[in-house]
Structure 1
Amino acid sequence: MRRADRLFQIIQVLRRTRRPLTADAIAAELETSKRTIYRDIATLIGQRVPIRGEAGMGYILEKGFDLPPLMLTPDEIEAAVLGAQWVSVNADPVLARAAEDLMAKIADTVPERLRPFVLEPASRAPRPWSREPDRIDMSRTRSQIHEGRKIRLRYRDEQGRDSERVIWPIAIGYHDAVRILAAWCELRHDFRSFRTDRVVEADYLDDKYPERREALRAKWRRSLVWEVPKDV
């Protein structure tokens, strides 16, 4: 590996984690010596890259530092394009358009030698066989999730029974045939999953739910596994 590439990779390794990484761990990932990592980190610090730490204790990249946005490796381009392909055929129309725009932007801005990784990728995401249509505004739902605001739902279960409830939306999950909205349900006093094709009506409330979204999401991760519910 060229030294310039290795310096770039050290920054990439550090930016992936919030915990200090030792020179041993970095050297193992980059398949080089610990002494080389010490020299490279000293070089980066000399170039004003905000790396904190010291030998034996570990290193961390301070917040606020970033590389030019499209200094991408071929594998990173392939990963981004594969993910965008999947979104373009599986997500709602707004996200699908955004995925198409993303691939076009990458193709327009990467160096000419890397453009085939965008236009002629070795990997391709499959199209779904079939998918039930969403009966809820997915773009508006994502906004409620980001803002930590409630939604009032009228929902029809597998037996065709309707119920009304107020939920605290957490995340949207994608299955082969349906999409799932995970949320805290005020009616059930517990986490529930709602199929987006079974929503009868949705009212997007201004009320914020009383718990921090990050804390609520952490509780949900500990208690819930994605599955298509039979009855919510």
Structure 2
Amino acid sequence: MAKSDRLFRLLHLIRGLRPPVTAARLAAAMEVSERTIYRDIDSLRAAGARIEGEAGLGYTMTEDPALPPQTFSQIELEALMLGLADVNQRGDADLAQAANDALIKILATLPERQQRQAMHAVNLVHRFNAPPQATIDMTLLREAMWAEEALDIGYRDLQDARTQRRIYPLALSYNDRTVMLLAWCCKRRDFRFFHVTRIEGYEQTGESFRPRRVALLREFIEQLKARCEPSQTGFPS
């Protein structure tokens, strides 16, 4: 691991672990020696990070130069905490981890008073029926959407019939009971929603549909408006 990457990861650990965090704990998490931790903390301090503590006592981050200071109203903090908590419960493992990492970064930029407000938020999330987890790699699926790359998928529909489709993946929709993939289906020449738990595998094709994604999403929204009553919201099943 390059030193710059190691220092960034060390900063993230010091932000996120309950202080004071010992060099032994940091070394175990980083899979390096304690001596390396001591040297890297000296490097971070030289770069401007205010890290209190010393060997044998543990370390506490008091000021992080890598992140600009932030300020939020109390209701904004409540909204952030509520949204990230919901992602943590509804998302797949990588998305939940990303929510935790984002929370650590946000807290690291806040004054101490607002850190306490965030950690004692009054709005809580608990979902008794989280969407079932997909068996496919959701991270690679998101990367295909970001890259605007067509995918060949094996799909088993609600009648248990299996088909092979080439799709242009556009967006993921997190509904109450399931996660749906909105895509343009090249076989049907139309928009389709696919249950991610019924996608049995996919292959990258190397075919790019850039820059059609924005236009396709705009077309889908116009079709949706035409089909729905003005008072209706959400996506058709």
TM-score bracket, normalised by the shorter chain, equals 0.5 to 0.7
How much has 1:102 moved relative to structure 2? 1.5
Distance in structure 2 (CA, Å) of the matches to 1:93 and 1:167? 24
CA pair 101-184 structure 1, distance change in 2 beyond 3 A: same
Give the AA of the match of 2:214.
E
- What is the Cα deviation at residue 211 of structure 1? 4.6
1:30-84 CA-to-partner distances (Å, cap 9, x unmatched) read xxxxxxxxxxxxxxxxxxxxxxxxxxxxxxxxxxxxxx56232222221111110
What residue number does 2:10 align with?
none
Structure 1: 4+ residue segments shifted above 6 A: none
**Distance verdict in 2 for CA 1:182–1:128, change over 3 Å:** farther
Question: Using the alignment, how far apart are the partners of 1:191 and 1:172 within structure 2?
Answer: 13
Q: TM-score, normalised by structure 2?
A: 0.64
Distance across 2 between alignment mates of 1:210 and 1:75: 39
Does the Cα contact within 8 Å between 2:92 and 2:133 map onto a contact in 1?
A: no
Is the partner of 1:115 in helix, strand or coil? helix
Aligned counterparts of 1:204 and 1:137: Cα–Cα separation in 2: 12
CA offset at residue 107 of structure 1? Answer: 2.1
Stretches of structure 1 that go unaligned for 5 or more consecutive residues are 1-67
Q: Name 1:177's counterpart in structure 2.
A: 177
RMSD over aligned CA atoms reads 1.7
Aligned to 1:76: 76
CA displacement at 1:88 relative to structure 2: 0.5
C-alpha change, 1:148 and 1:125, in structure 2 (3 Å) is same
1:74-129 CA distance string (max 9 Å, x none): 22221111110000110111110011112222222201111123211111122242
Determine if the alignment matches structure 1 residue 190 to structure 2 residue 213: no
User: In structure 1, what is the Cα distance between the partners aligned to 2:212 and 2:173?
Assistant: 20
In 2, distance between residues paired with 1:128 and 1:175?
14
- Residue 69 to residue 156, structure 1, CA distance change in 2 (3 Å): farther
Partners of 1:190 and 1:211 in 2: how far apart? 18
Structure-2 separation of matches of 1:114 and 1:139: 32
- Match in the other structure for 1:227: 236
- Is contact 1:88–1:96 with CA below 8 Å preserved after alignment? yes
The equivalent residue for 1:27 is: none
How far the C-alpha of 1:130 sits from its partner, in A, is 4.2
Q: Residue 134 of structure 2 aligns to a residue in which SS?
A: coil
* Corresponding letter in the other structure for 1:206: G
Tell me, yes or no, if structure 1 residue 213 matches structure 2 residue 213.
yes
Matches within 5 A, 1:2-151: 70-151=70-151
* Contact 2:89–2:130 under 8 Å retained in 1: no
Q: Distance in 2 between matches of 1:148 and 1:193?
A: 17
Percent of counterpart pairs with the same letter?
A: 31
Residue aligned with 2:166, SS: strand
